């Protein structure tokens, strides 16, 4: 089955810096890659997603890139703000299957 690895496990940046979180997946049949933000005591919130037919997607300060050949995808947050502090999860799903497989999570801390 699919396996998703996520790095780093923790990331500390200064306000205004950029943050990059990387994930690799094992199954080349995966074709959907969402990113979720989870704040303490809450459920995950979808922040951006990408499908395998595109290589990059942007939404304001957030972007995701996908390299199908290398089987990795990354989340880029620019001009970070303290409210970006949370745990971020990447995920992948295999074509034809309903389930999402989650990465292990990255705790992002943005210091003022």
Partner 1 sequence: GAVVSQHPSRVICKSGTSVKIECRSLDFQATTMFWYRQFPKQSLMLMATSNEGSKATYEQGVEKDKFLINHASLTLSTLTVTSAHPEDSSFYICSAREAGLSYNSPLHFGNGTRLTVT
Q: Which is nearer to partner 1, 72 or 107 (CB)?
A: 107
Q: Which helix (H) or strand (E) holds 76?
A: strand 72-77
Binding-site ranges for partner 1 (CB under 8 A): 31-32, 34, 36, 41-46, 49, 51, 89, 93, 95-100, 102-105, 107
Q: Which is nearer to partner 1, 19 or 103 (CB)?
A: 103
Distances (CA, A) of 76 to 2, 22, 34, 96: 23, 9, 13, 28
Q: Which is nearer to partner 1, 21 or 105 (CB)?
A: 105
């Amino acid at each position: 089955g699919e396996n998703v690895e996520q790095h780093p496990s923790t990331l500390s940046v200064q306000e205004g810096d950029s943050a990059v979180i990387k994930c690799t997946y094992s199954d080349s049949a995966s074709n959907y890659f969402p990113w979720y933000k989870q704040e303490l005591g809450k459920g995950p919130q979808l922040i951006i997603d990408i499908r395998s037919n595109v290589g990059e997607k942007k939404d304001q300060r957030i972007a995701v890139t996908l390299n199908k050949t290398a089987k990795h995808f990354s989340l880029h947050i620019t001009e970070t703000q303290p409210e970006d502090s949370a745990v971020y999860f990447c995920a992948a799903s295999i074509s034809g299957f309903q389930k999402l497989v989650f990465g292990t999570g990255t705790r992002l801390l943005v210091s003022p």
